[in-house]
Homo-oligomer: A and B are copies of this chain.
Amino acid sequence: MSSLGVGVSPGNVPVYHGSNLKVIDRRVRLAELILRCLICGLAVLSAVLIGTDTQVREFFTIRKRAKFTDMKALVFLVIANGIAAGYSLVQVLRCVLSMIKGTVLFNKPLAWAIFSGDQVMTYLTLSAVAAAVQSGLFAQFGQTELQWMKTCNLYAKFCNQVGEGVASSLLACLSMVLLSAISAYGLFRLYGDNKGKSSGRW
């Protein structure tokens, strides 16, 4: 037993035995699990809303179908959401497993992997959302200086559903920002004991 109230196992993943830290750690892990489930759900919802969105209009004799593949930014957003949902699902399973086993993360390489993964996901989704919002603004308001006409007046139903999908992605993105802070906490608190080698990687 160390002074932190944890028993150190061979795999650097100590089994947890009580104290004040237990309550805090449980709260953090619960918040993490809730956020990861939320992100998974929102990302799937967004991908489905945008991916299945379509509207057919007839202009005199011409029949035109609006679909998400008409705009590359929406394709990027659907792909980013798919990756985020898959990643979150894997992380949810890891969280549930560690909660069942009652282990605390003291494994630095794993903490680095989770931190890096969360960072990449957050930046990827944010980029995709920003690009989609920018495209959406062009479609909604046009850009008369460049003679790009607005198209949402023609495809109102299509645009509304895309808007809902983007809003869902934005919520997922905000949850990822919180999650990134949690995984940064999970990693860098391991460097807080200031015992030479631990901090030596910096």
Contacts and interface: CB of A to CB of B under 8 A. Distances in A.
Interface of A: 4, 20-21, 24, 27-28, 70-73, 119, 123, 126-131, 133-135, 137-139, 143, 145-149, 151, 177, 181, 184-185, 187-194, 196, 199-200, 202
A202 B28 contact: yes
Kindly report how many copies of this chain are found in the complex they form together.
2
14 contacts: A20-B200, A119-B181, A123-B126, A123-B177, A126-B130, A128-B130, A134-B134, A134-B135, A185-B188, A188-B188, A188-B192, A189-B189, A189-B192, A193-B193
User: Which of A131, A137, A149, A185 has the most B CB atoms < 10 Å from its CB?
Assistant: A131
A147 B149 contact: yes
Contact of A199 (B24, B73, B130): B24
Contacts of A189: 188-189, 191-192, 194, 199
Contacts of A147: 149
Contacts of A191: 185, 189, 192
Contacts of A193: 192-193
Nearest to A134: B131
A133 to B, nearest CB: 7
Nearest to A135: B134
Contact of A148 (B20, B28, B138): B138
